[in-house]
Amino acid sequence: MKKTLIIGLLLNIQFFAHAADRPNILIILTDDMGFSDLGCFGGEIETPNLDGLAANGLRFTEFYNTARCWPTRATLMSGIYSNVLGNKQVTIPQLLKTAGYDTGMVGKWHLGKNPAKDGPIQRGFDDFYGTMTGAGSFFDPYTLTRNTEFTEVDEEDYYYTDRIGEEAVRQIEGFAKTDKPFFQYVAFTAAHWPIHAPEESIQKYIQMYEDGWEKLRADRYERMLKMGIIDKDRWPLPPREGNVKPWDTIEHKPWRIRNMAVYAAMVDHMDQAVGNIVNALKSTKQIENTLIIYFHDNGACPEHLGGNGWNTANNILAKAKKAGKKIAVGDVFDVPMGGPMTYGSVGHNWAHSQNTPMRRYKMNVHNGGACTPAIVHWPAGLKTKPGTISDQRGHVIDMMATCLDLADAEYPEEFNDKALPPHESLSLVPIFKGSSNDRDHAYIFNHGGTHAIVKGDYKIVREGRRPWALYNLAKNRTETENLAAKKPELVLEMATIWEQRWGKKK
């Protein structure tokens, strides 16, 4: 008995010594944000906390997603290109828990509707505070949940983005009380519609957008050039999207200006919440060995709302009706957006400028929909020069392999007695260590009738029944020159890869 006890103690000592060497992992995901929204990517919105992480870390300018909310989340969690999180898939937190990690999630889940059956707790998270559905009021979130039970707002001045930051801090303080490393997933709903923000924060940005979206786009482009984020040769500014009207021809300018100011205030509050999270890591002495990786779920959103906001405003519509009041949903030009009795969106005109210099928007796998910035910060492990702007590429799918690599964990052939398909993820750790990844590794896109492959220097894109277009990303990151007619063999070669993954047999 004494010998067995000694062996057990030695194994525990070895486990915890090993755990201390592995980093904490914090993934921060934001919602429906444009390529140039952050200050460190050329934006005018105040984001000092994310800018600070970038200045002391690494920036990706070629980091991909699936171009839509829930497929990005399913793909991120499973390491498999997915439009849903299936029963035969395992998640990052489930595997990291088996490797000795504590786990926690705050924010938007969007991978199941019932927190007692298909929520974060059933998928490997020890603690969860957030929302199950894809959107909702920031003052009274739809499907607000703590762990496995639906809950309600609990304070008068409740604002969801701020609360996400507070709950993330609570989890971080709890993680610090153990000897285990942690995995935390913070999924902000900012800046997804409805555009909601405290009035004081909105007023801070009103004057900034009085010259309209064309001026905003031009200013951001020039700022990005000066910062070295882009260059004119490889990043030519594409023509204005066909559905975007010239600023001098549109009506309701004050209403539209306010919408963009609300959006900016939402991003500002998200950055403040990130600052609180970083401060919590510092105060608990966990910042040095915490890998923070920040990115967006897709590009800027062109959607305009109506009805019940695709079933996301049901709770506040019902409460308003009971109180004899009315919620202004959509483009109600005589009602200023941003307050709790509104439910609007920023719309396609401003979204075009938010995505500077990329083409298209959310729901489309051109780079305006499927390529967003990423920031990596890890004082103890990042070997690149602080402030580096990387020409390497990554994808949300790569979080699985990256986390397993850092946690010294394996991807099993089966989990909970179910056979698992192999993951399709590539570890980004070599990039963090100052090396590089193979550019011939293919990234594959399939969403809403838009398709793409990125491989080597090239990308093919297909919209609906249109033929494949081909772009040389090494020379033309903004997809302005279609080379398909000049290189039909390359198009066919890359299209074959897409068909093998997403063709009829899939």
* Residue-wise pLDDT tens digits, 158-175: 999 999 999 999 999 999
Q: How far is CA 70 from CA 109, 110, 491, in A?
A: 8, 6, 29
* Domains, the chain, with CATH or none: 24-437 (3.40.720.10), 440-506 (3.30.1120.10)
For residue 454, the cross-strand partners are 443, 459
What confidence tens digit (pLDDT) does each residue in 228-265 have?
Answer: 999 999 999 999 999 999 999 999 999 999 999 999 99
Weakest-pLDDT range from 89-98, 162-171, 269-278, 415-424: 415-424
User: Helices (DSSP H) in 121-233: which residue ranges?
Assistant: 160-175, 199-203, 213-227
Distance CA 397, CA 409 (A): 17
> What is the reported pTM?
0.95
Q: Are strands 102-108 and 182-187 parallel, antiparallel or unpaired?
A: parallel
In this predicted model, what pLDDT tens digit does every residue of 38-97 receive, in sequence order? Answer: 999 999 999 999 999 999 999 999 999 999 999 999 999 999 999 999 889 999 999 999
3-state DSSP call for residue 204?
coil
Q: Answer yes or no: is pLDDT of 386 > 80.
A: yes
Measured CA to CA, the distance from residue 120 to residue 412 in angstroms comes to 20
User: Is residue 8 predicted with pLDDT exceeding 50?
Assistant: no
Query: Given this model, what pLDDT does residue 7 score?
Result: 37
Q: Above 60 in pLDDT, residue 189?
A: yes
Please give the C-alpha separations between residue 447 and each of 143, 303, 452, 493, in angstroms, as whole numbers.
26, 16, 9, 21
Whole-number pLDDT of residue 14: 39
Residue 371 bridge partners (DSSP): 64
State the Cα–Cα distance between residues 434 and 431, nearest whole angstrom: 5
Give dist(CA 250, CA 212) in Å, integer.
10
| Between 207 and 2, the higher pLDDT residue | 207
Report the pLDDT averaged over residues 317-341. 97
Q: How confident is the model at residue 286 (pLDDT cuts 50, 70, 90)?
A: very high
DSSP 43-87: -SS--HHHHHHHHTSEEEEEEE--SSHHHHHHHHHHSS--SS--T
33-47, 245-259, 328-342, 492-506: lowest mean pLDDT where?
492-506
> How distant is the alpha carbon of residue 115 from its chain centre?
22
Average pLDDT over residues 481-487: 98
The SS3 of residue 184 is strand
Question: Got the DSSP string for 394-450?
Answer: EEGGGHHHHHHHHHT----SEETTEE-PPP-----HHHHTT----TTS-EEEEETTE
* pLDDT at 415 (0 to 100): 93
SS3 11: helix
Question: Is the pLDDT assigned to residue 506 strictly greater than 50?
Answer: no
pLDDT of residue 480: 97
In the predicted model, is pLDDT for residue 465 greater than 70? Answer: yes
Residue indicated by tokens 């397993």: 404
**How are beta strands 328-329 and 342-343 bridged, if at all?**
parallel
* Residue whose pair of structure tokens reads 């491989």 in the numeric block: 455
Token pair for 453? 């492959």
- 33: which 2 tokens? 């944000």
pLDDT band of 411, cuts 50, 70, 90: very high
CA distances from 78 to 9, 11, 65, 85, 312 (A): 34, 30, 13, 7, 25
Q: What is the pLDDT of residue 19?
A: 52
Q: Regarding beta strands 127-131 and 102-108, do their DSSP bridges make them parallel or antiparallel, or are they unpaired?
A: parallel
Q: What is the mean pLDDT of residues 407-424?
A: 94
CA 296 to chain centre: 2
Mean pLDDT, to the nearest integer, of 113-125?
Answer: 96
458: which strand partners? 455, 472
- Beta bridge mates, 329: 343
The answer, yes or no, to whether residue 5 has pLDDT greater than 90, is no
Distance CA 318, CA 387 (A): 48
Residue 342: pLDDT over 50: yes
Q: Which residue has the tokens 């050329």?
A: 42
pLDDT higher than threshold 80 for residue 126: yes
d(CA 112, CA 443): 26
Angle between helices 253-283 and 160-175 (to 10 degrees): 10
- How many other C-beta atoms are found inside a 10 Å radius of the C-beta of residue 311? 12
pLDDT band at 29 (very low <50, low <70, confident <90, very high): very high
What is the CB neighbour count within 10 angstroms for residue 233? 9
Distance (Å, rounded) from C-alpha 136 to C-alpha 117? 21
Return all residues near 4 (Cβ < 8 A) that are at least 6 apart.
none
In degrees and rounded to multiples of 5, residue 97 shows phi and psi of: -65, -40
Q: Tell me the average pLDDT of the chain.
A: 94
How many whole angstroms separate alpha carbon 363 and alpha carbon 355? 13
Mean pLDDT of 22-29: 98
Question: Per DSSP, what are the bridge partners of residue 462?
Answer: 451
Q: Which residues contact 412 (CB under 8 A, 6 or more apart)?
A: 90, 95, 420
* Whether the predicted pLDDT of 6 surpasses 50: no
In 229-296, the DSSP E strands lie at 290-296
pLDDT of residue 448: 87
pLDDT of res. 20: 55
